[in-house]
Amino acid sequence: MEELKPLPRLILIDAANFMNVYKKVATNYACPNYESRKNAFHIIPVVHFFVARGYTVLVIASEHTLKPHTTQLSYLLKELKAMNLLVHPIRDGKEVDDRAMLECAADYGAIILSCDKFRNHPDFKAITNRYVVGYERKKCKQNSDVTNNLGIECKYSFYLDGKCFAAKPTDDDYAKVQKSHEDFKKISPENLSRLALMELYLHSDISSKIGAPLPEACTKFLDPEMPFPVNFQQFEKAAQRLSRGQ
């Protein structure tokens, strides 16, 4: 019999909570202080961080968050949805995204990334205590090398508090995590590459706006004498021309 090994847990990202905490992105990049919309910018690097390490990730978001008047850079969420990395709750109504995440965590032993305490759902208190992983917004130190931290004014640190992103064979919910590996597909190599390109675009876009050198990876397919692409689609086409020419 094959020896059982630790398995990565399904990661659920509470999009509404995460995008609100990280609404401000970078100096000379964020919208004015009176901007009330959430911001999808930080969703991309955190999703890429986990999927690149073998985790299956689902961003949980209500449909209205994909609209530009609700979310800054909402097109990023649409890209995630096209890659099957973002899902909407089946039911309509208030806080249905919360219940969808809590039910999924209960069924699959999944980790929920959220600062929400889910106090409106007392029937899920045990699930909240066991599977919700909070995070803290931290101020970055000033750094003259703006390409080192993208000029980003905050970063995230996750606090496990005894929780674990992997399930051990001795965990009582190990079978649930096994089932999550059967029911949810890992990201395809093509979509993983595209997600990495999206993160590179965001890095490069900030660099171009604050007058910093572009990351070396994109200088292979962008002409420094030409204006920076106005959107990710143009950036992606430039990268595709390079790969076709190789």
Q: Specify whether 231 is located in the same domain as 170.
A: no
> Is the model's pTM score more than 0.75?
yes
- Residue showing tokens 């990334």: 113
List the end-to-end C-alpha distance of the chain, in Å, as a whole number: 46
Q: Specify whether 124 is located in the same domain as 212.
A: no
Q: pLDDT by residue (tens digit) across 33-92?
A: 556 788 888 899 889 999 999 999 999 998 888 898 888 889 999 999 999 999 998 766
Burial class (CB in 10 A: 0-12, 13-18, 19+), 172: exposed
3-state SS track over 92-135: CCCCHHHHHHHHHHHHHCCEEECCCCCCCCHHHHHHHHHHEEEE
Structure tokens at 31: 């919208």
Residues 6+ apart with CB under 8 A from 28: 151, 209, 210
Q: Specify whether 196 is located in the same domain as 178.
A: no
Q: pLDDT by residue (tens digit) across 91-123?
A: 666 678 899 999 999 999 999 999 999 999 999
Give me the domain span that covers residue 232: 189-245
